[in-house]
Amino acid sequence: MKLGAIEAGGTKFVCAVGNEYGEVFEKTTIPTESPQITMPKVYDFFAGKGVERMGIGSFGPIDLDENGDSYGTIQKTPKIDWVDFPLAGEIRKNLGVPVVVDTDVNVAALSESQWGNAKDADSCLYITVGTGVGAGAVVNGTTLKGLSHPEMGHIVVKRHENDEFTGICPYHGDCLEGMASGPAIEKRWGKAGKDLSGDPAVWEMEAHYLAQALVSYIYILSPERIVMGGGVMQQEHLFGLIRKNVMDMLGGYVSSPKLDADHINEYIVPPGLTNEAGIKGALALAKK
């Protein structure tokens, strides 16, 4: 079956034609400007290609209530041109195909669980640590959503004893994203994360925040695998620090062999899919 996939991000829309096996036949990248400029280019790319269904992994917040009138409508985003834009509805109208939409992080979790580093697990949590911090989850092949979509990047975290940084989340100040995103690292230390590789204090503090978040996710969701991606996780040494902090913070409370010193390396892992995770996940979504 020919499927369409869109990875709708804050800086670019990646559009692709592929199939239910995650194979990508053709792909293009369109800059994210206003909907009036960007969307006609999206419709042009897909026109006449015989796509039967469309999957979209989108930046958010976005309405995911399949039974509501505003399914797939962008909500209160800082990208004001896109506020209230009915992304799924307009695509359905212009291309005449059913559209399935989910958050970018849920789609990444779906992709990892179908084709990436969580394909042997029944549930998986995907967290990105980049410009923002966000996480999505898949349980038995289905992404997690409800009232809205999860906002796991904005949980409360306990401050590190040496940290006086006030945080940069416009809504909460010192929530997880406010303390641990790429821009938070840059603001706190006066340099971008990639230029701080050799400074252990930076990464010890970063691991303190991210490990607290993982411990909360483990307690609440009990995922069988945690995949960590995004620009900040390019610091590969961070994985070891996070795994150690997670084990210390759990204090042996959750009994699972997956969480012991011999197996934690296979529990908290980098992504298995790099460039095409978003697009492949959107294809997986489209086939549902």
Distance set, CA 113 to CA 139, 225, 244, 272 (Å): 9, 9, 24, 10
Q: Mapping DSSP to helix (H, G, I), strand (E, B) and coil, where does residue 195 land?
A: helix
Q: Which amino acid is at 108?
A: A
Mask for 127-156, x = binds Zn ion (CB under 5 A): ---------------------------x--
Selected from 106, 111, 212, 235, the binder of ligand ADP by CB under 6 A is 235
Mask for 129-148, x = binds ligand ADP (CB under 6 A): -xxx----------------
User: In the chain, at which residue ranges do the beta strands (DSSP E only) sit?
Assistant: 3-8, 12-18, 24-31, 53-58, 99-103, 123-129, 133-139, 142-143, 226-229, 268-269
The residue range among 65-73, 175-183, 184-192, 253-261 that interacts with Zn ion, by the rule CB under 5 A, is 175-183
* 29 Cβ neighbours under 8 A, 6+ residues apart: 12, 13, 14, 15
Residue appearing with tokens 């992994």: 57
Selected from 1, 47, 83, 192, the binder of ligand ADP by CB under 6 A is 192
Q: Are strands 133-139 and 142-143 parallel, antiparallel or unpaired?
A: antiparallel
Selected from 17, 110, 218, 232, the binder of ligand ADP by CB under 6 A is 232
Selected from 94, 234, 250, 258, the binder of ligand ADP by CB under 6 A is 234
Nearer to ligand ADP, 204 or 224 (CB): 204
Decide: 53 and 68 in contact? Cβ < 8 Å.
Answer: no
Selected from 133, 155, 169, 273, the binder of Zn ion by CB under 5 A is 169
When asked if residue 187 is in the footprint of Zn ion (CB under 5 A), the reply is: no
When asked if residue 193 is in the footprint of ligand ADP (CB under 6 A), the reply is: yes
The residue range among 12-20, 77-85, 129-137, 171-179 that interacts with Zn ion, by the rule CB under 5 A, is 171-179
Residue appearing with tokens 């042997």: 120
Q: Which does 234 bind (CB under 5 to 8 A by kind): ligand ADP, Zn ion, none?
A: ligand ADP
Q: How far is Cα 95 from Cα 269, in angstroms, rounded to an integer?
A: 38
Residues near ligand ADP (CB under 6 A) are 128, 130-132, 182-183, 186, 192-194, 230-232, 234-235
Residues near Zn ion (CB under 5 A) are 154, 169, 171-172, 175, 177
